[in-house]
């Protein structure tokens, strides 16, 4: 049997169910590994005694012959913007440091109902407004493959704990790439479901038009299992046949200005798909950049004020958006959210409505037409480059030029987020410097199961990503 920390979700659940591994032994091994990797700063909250008690209870239930859920005894981490009663939900911001929700978020409760153990809450970019996870209140989270680099964001801790083998899976949230980017940077699989496939309730929001939770794990089958637990559907277990699969390759925009090592590894993955019988079709998505820019910030920066206030009121908290902004500890987050409160810089309602009601439907239609033309999935590098160094919050270097950090990293993940379609980032290898690279597959809205089946197929074709050397 593999070392405990190398067990993926499916393998761990099967081993616990069969009695080959106890939940307590698995939990103890992961707690010890987490302590040894404390320098990653990946958790904001972890109660080892709670974990041990839950693991022992799981073992007693199995021994007593109880009906076991699909995730019985499996430790899972949750991003610190997903409500849990057992641990605080801070969204990485000082004003919510003592926030103890009265109810678990539905996505969290679904995991617990299936027997999963809450291992801890993972760190994040403050209020999910960034991709470096360099948090002014809780400190910078580090990449498990190179601690001098970022893990991505905003679900940086969720990516780091999976990549470092501290837990077999975690949940993050994704508004513009915040599950898929950390997955790509940390060597994990990351899945963004179609908008509203997963409940938005009980998650500290940015934008109801764009937000969704999603899982990160080390195998595609783990994503499929977790998705089935949350949605109540039968798990996708049969890989798609790649023979005849029509794969759209949008060279314009998505494949432009890509780091050479990222390009090499993603091209190799496409070649592997072609050898397995997939049909690669060079097809661009018209006007994607203009449509994405017309939707993204206008929607998010308008809705965050409204949606965060609704969350705070529903939680029974006596603070509001302005209080959150006043206490923000990360300069980038304080600056961008401060602009929302300034009438001179806030997004006007007319611009927001035009973005939501005119430009977003055009973007959705562009994707619908793309897939309706006979393309099954779209493939492109999840990010234009591997994980940048820590501290490069404003600009990073791409192909010898200084470029804006945020908009560069989410360039490829943003459009499908705004359109609400499903996407999955698949680890395709390590660069010469030992950094993970992800290839994203996007599919038509509502075709999440087909997309997960494609991820299963690629997972069987591509060699497993080596674990971090540390």
CATH of the domain at 324: 3.90.1300.10
Q: Point out the catalytic residue in the list 178, 298, 330, 416.
A: 178
Has 158 been annotated as catalytic? no
| 159 is a domain residue | yes
pLDDT at 37: 98
| 469 is a domain residue | no
Q: Point out the catalytic residue in the list 133, 154, 158, 298.
A: 154
pLDDT at 2: 83
| Better-predicted residue by pLDDT, 355 or 470 | 355
pLDDT at 64: 97
- What pLDDT digit, counting tens, does each position of 327-365 carry? 999 999 999 999 999 999 999 999 999 999 999 999 999
- What pLDDT digit, counting tens, does each position of 435-462 carry? 999 999 999 999 999 999 999 999 999 9
> How many domains are there within the chain?
1
pLDDT, average across residues 140-154: 98
Has 207 been annotated as catalytic? no
Per-residue confidence band for 54, with pLDDT thresholds at 50, 70 and 90: very high
Has 154 been annotated as catalytic? yes
| 255 is a domain residue | yes
pLDDT at 470 over 80: no
CA-to-CA separations, 80 to 55, 181, 384, 393, in angstroms, rounded: 21, 17, 27, 21
Looking at the chain, the whole-number percentage of residues with pLDDT higher than 70 is: 100
| 303 is a domain residue | yes
| 283 is a domain residue | yes
| 466 is a domain residue | no
Q: Which of 1-10, 43-52, 118-127 has the lowest mean pLDDT?
A: 1-10
| 87 is a domain residue | yes
pLDDT, average across residues 98-116: 98
| 13 is a domain residue | yes
pLDDT at 1 over 80: no
Q: At which residue do the structure tokens 């940077």 appear?
A: 185
pLDDT at 230: 98
Q: Which backbone phi and psi does 404 adopt, to 5 degrees?
A: -65, 135
Residue 337 sits in which domain range?
Answer: 4-461
């Amino acid at each position: 049997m593999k070392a405990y920390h190398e067990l993926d979700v499916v393998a761990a659940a099967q081993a616990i169910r069969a009695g080959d591994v106890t939940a307590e032994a698995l939990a103890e091994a992961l707690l010890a590994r987490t302590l040894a990797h404390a320098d990653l700063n990946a958790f904001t909250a972890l109660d080892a005694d709670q974990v041990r008690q839950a693991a022992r209870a799981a073992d007693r239930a199995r021994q007593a012959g109880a009906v076991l859920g699909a995730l019985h005894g499996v430790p899972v981490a949750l991003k610190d913007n997903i409500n849990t009663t057992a641990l605080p939900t801070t969204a990485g911001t000082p004003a919510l440091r003592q926030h103890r929700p009265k109810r678990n978020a539905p996505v969290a409760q679904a995991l617990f109902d299936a027997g999963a153990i809450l291992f801890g809450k993972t760190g994040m970019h403050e209020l999910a407004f960034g991709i470096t996870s360099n948090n002014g209140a809780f400190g910078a989270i580090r990449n498990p493959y190179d601690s001098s680099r970022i893990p991505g964001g905003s679900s940086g801790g969720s990516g780091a704990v999976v990549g470092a083998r501290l837990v077999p899976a975690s949940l993050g949230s994704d508004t513009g790439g915040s599950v898929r980017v950390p997955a790509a940077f940390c060597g994990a699989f990351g899945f963004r479901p179609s908008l509203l496939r997963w409940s938005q309730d009980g998650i500290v929001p940015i934008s109801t038009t764009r937000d969704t939770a999603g899982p990160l794990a080390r195998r595609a089958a783990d994503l499929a299992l977790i998705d089935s637990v949350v949605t109540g559907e039968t798990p996708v277990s049969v890989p798609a046949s790649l023979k005849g699969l029509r794969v759209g390759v949008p060279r314009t925009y998505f494949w432009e200005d890509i780091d050479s090592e990222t390009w090499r590894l993603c091209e190799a993955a496409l070649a592997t798909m072609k050898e397995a019988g997939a049909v690669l079709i060079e097809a661009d998505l018209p006007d994607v950049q203009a449509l994405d820019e017309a939707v993204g910030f206008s929607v998010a920066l308008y809705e965050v004020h409204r949606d965060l206030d609704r969350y705070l009121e529903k939680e029974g908290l006596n603070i509001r958006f302005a209080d959150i902004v006043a206490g923000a500890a990360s300069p980038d987050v304080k600056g961008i959210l401060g602009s929302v409160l300034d009438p001179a810089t806030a997004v006007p309602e007319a611009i927001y409505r035009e973005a939501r009601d005119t430009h977003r439907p055009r973007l959705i239609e562009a994707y619908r037409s793309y897939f309706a033309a006979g393309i099954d999935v779209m493939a492109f590098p999840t990010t234009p480059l591997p994980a940048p160094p820590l501290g490069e919050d404003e600009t990073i270097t791409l192909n010898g030029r200084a470029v804006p950090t945020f908009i560069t990293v989410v360039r490829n993940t943003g459009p499908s987020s705004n359109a609400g379609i499903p996407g999955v980032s698949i680890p395709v290898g390590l660069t010469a410097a030992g950094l993970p690279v992800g290839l994203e597959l996007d599919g038509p809205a509502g075709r999440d199961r087909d997309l997960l089946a494609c991820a299963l197929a690629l997972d069987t074709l591509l060699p497993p990503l080596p674990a971090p050397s540390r």
